[in-house]
Amino acid sequence: MADESKQPLLPVFRFQIDFYETSANRDQAGSNTSVPLCSGAFSECTGLEATMEPFVIRPGGLNYGAIQRVGKVTFATVILRRGMTSTRHLWRWFSLVTADGAYAYRLDAKVTMFDHTGNPQLHWRLARALPIKFKAADLNAVSVNIGIEELHLAHEGLILEEN
């Protein structure tokens, strides 16, 4: 295991988000390539969070505390705010899932954090992400908002990948 005390400090404002087909989607299409479908630049990413609910056992005769066991893990909804992409793939994905009935079409999302020199340092992967809300920016002639106001993602796993 690497000495984590020597890891550089990472600014939280330098990150990028890439979207990839999941292995299940690739198997259906008959392809084994893992090509990024879309990258996005967002000003905010919240919800990189996993919570484990302990399973509590209270045996008879044990009066000092309870026994704690590993319980169910849940993942928070990841919210991406004020973003831009060079394509319309995120809207097409949301439309495909909600309007076209392809509710099982999932993408993996990778959040990459960069150090002060621009080198990738940390990768969070959202397994089998599903878009549950897409909000475009308000149309206002005096506004400076950008294309995607919010994109909410439900997912089935939060994985910290090694470099």
pLDDT on residue 96: 85
Structural domain spans, the chain: 13-161
**How confident is residue 92, by pLDDT bands cut at 50, 70 and 90?**
confident
144 pLDDT band, cuts 50/70/90, is low
The pTM of the full predicted model, rounded to 2 decimals, is 0.78
Q: Give residue-wise pLDDT tens across range 58-67.
A: 888 888 888 8
Q: pLDDT tens digit string along 8-48?
A: 666 667 888 989 886 655 544 444 445 567 777 888 899 99
Query: Who wins on pLDDT, 94 or 9?
Result: 94
Cα separation, 1 vs 4, whole angstroms: 8
HEC letters along 51-93: EECCEEECCCCCCCCCEEECCCEEECCEEEEEEECCCCHHHHH
- What's 13-161's CATH class? mainly beta
- CB hemisphere CA count around 98 (13 angstroms): 11
Q: Which two tokens stand for residue 117?
A: 């020199």
